[in-house]
Amino acid sequence: MRARQGGSAKSYRLKRVYAPAAPDDGLRVLVDRLWPRGLTKAEAGVDLWLRDIAPSHALRRQAHGDPDGWEAFTAAYAEELKGEAAQSALGALAQADAAVVTLLFAAKDEARNNAVALLDWLRVR
């Protein structure tokens, strides 16, 4: 998946962190609050880990408890992204000197996870 942000030449992609790194991944940014189970830092190939861009522990637990509440999750996550720590992490992401940024996530569900919600959020910004 790709998203172009406004007037920027930056292209965002999504990828499960357990998938092998590829040369065209560009800057690999982990957007989960927790480190992925069973992966060493070398295996993950993460260039930047932005914990503060991830949903809070409470929101993450709520989302896991209600798989049908995707819309409620994305709305609550968008609100969390307005917070100071998230805004600082978003600033670091925006300032990253890379034409391609791959947002990495650990979730098994590739259609509904925080990286998908973040990518959708970035698309409208």
- Six-digit token string for 51: 């914990």
- How confident is the model at residue 24, as a pLDDT? 96
Q: Which residue blocks in 18-56 are alpha helix, DSSP H?
A: 41-44
Q: What is the pTM of this model?
A: 0.89
Spatial neighbors of 88 by CB under 8 A, at least 6 apart, are 52
CB 65 within 8 A of CB 48: no
Spatial neighbors of 17 by CB under 8 A, at least 6 apart, are 30, 32, 36, 39, 44, 46, 104, 105, 106
At 30-80, the pLDDT tens digits run 999 999 999 999 999 999 999 999 999 999 888 777 778 899 999 999 999
